[in-house]
Amino acid sequence: MYRRLSTVMFPIVTLIMIGAFVWGYRESQMRKEVSLQANSMSIKAENQYQRAFHDLSFHMDQLHSQLGNAIAVHNTSHAMHRKCLMNVWRITSEAQNEVNQLPLNVMPFNHAKDLLSHLSAFAYQTSVRDLDHEPLNEKELSNLKTLYTNSREISKNMHEVRQKVLSKNLRWMDVDTAPGSQTGPKDNTIIDGFQTVDKKVENYKELDWGPSVASIYDKRSVKKLSLPAVNAEQIKRSAAEFTGKPESQIRVHENGKGTEWASYTATLYNKQKPVATMDFTKKGGKLISYHDMRTVGPKKSTRNEAVRYASEYLQRKGYPGMKPVSYDESGNLANITFATQKGDVIIYPEKITVRSGLDNGQVIGFQSSDYVYEHSHLRRIPKAKLDVKAARAKLNPEFRETYHRKALIENELSKEVLCYEFGGKINGSIYRIYINADTGMEETIEQVKDSDEPASGSNV
Q: Which residue has the higher pLDDT, 75 or 38?
A: 75
Question: 197 to each of 60, 115, 176, 201, 298, how far by Cα in Å?
Answer: 12, 12, 19, 6, 58
Q: Are 335 and 355 in contact (CB under 8 A)?
A: yes
What are 24-65's pLDDT values in tens digits?
Answer: 667 666 666 655 565 666 677 777 878 888 888 889 999 999
Q: Residue 91 above 60 pLDDT?
A: yes
CA distance 302 to 308: 10
What are 222-232's pLDDT values in tens digits?
Answer: 455 678 889 99
Long-range contact pairs involving 232-235 (C-beta distance under 8 Å, separation at least 24):
232/264, 234/285, 235/264, 235/266, 235/280, 235/285
The mean pLDDT of 128-137, rounded to a whole number, is 83
- What is the pairing mode between strands 363-367 and 345-357? antiparallel
Q: Quote the radius of gyration of the chain (alpha carbons, Å).
A: 31
Query: Does the pTM of the predicted model rise above 0.75?
Result: no
**CATH code, 232-374:** 3.30.310
CA atoms within 13 A on the CB side of 383: 1
Question: 218 to each of 35, 160, 221, 414, 452, how far by Cα in Å?
Answer: 49, 35, 8, 11, 30
Structural domain boundaries in the chain: 13-215, 232-374, 388-452
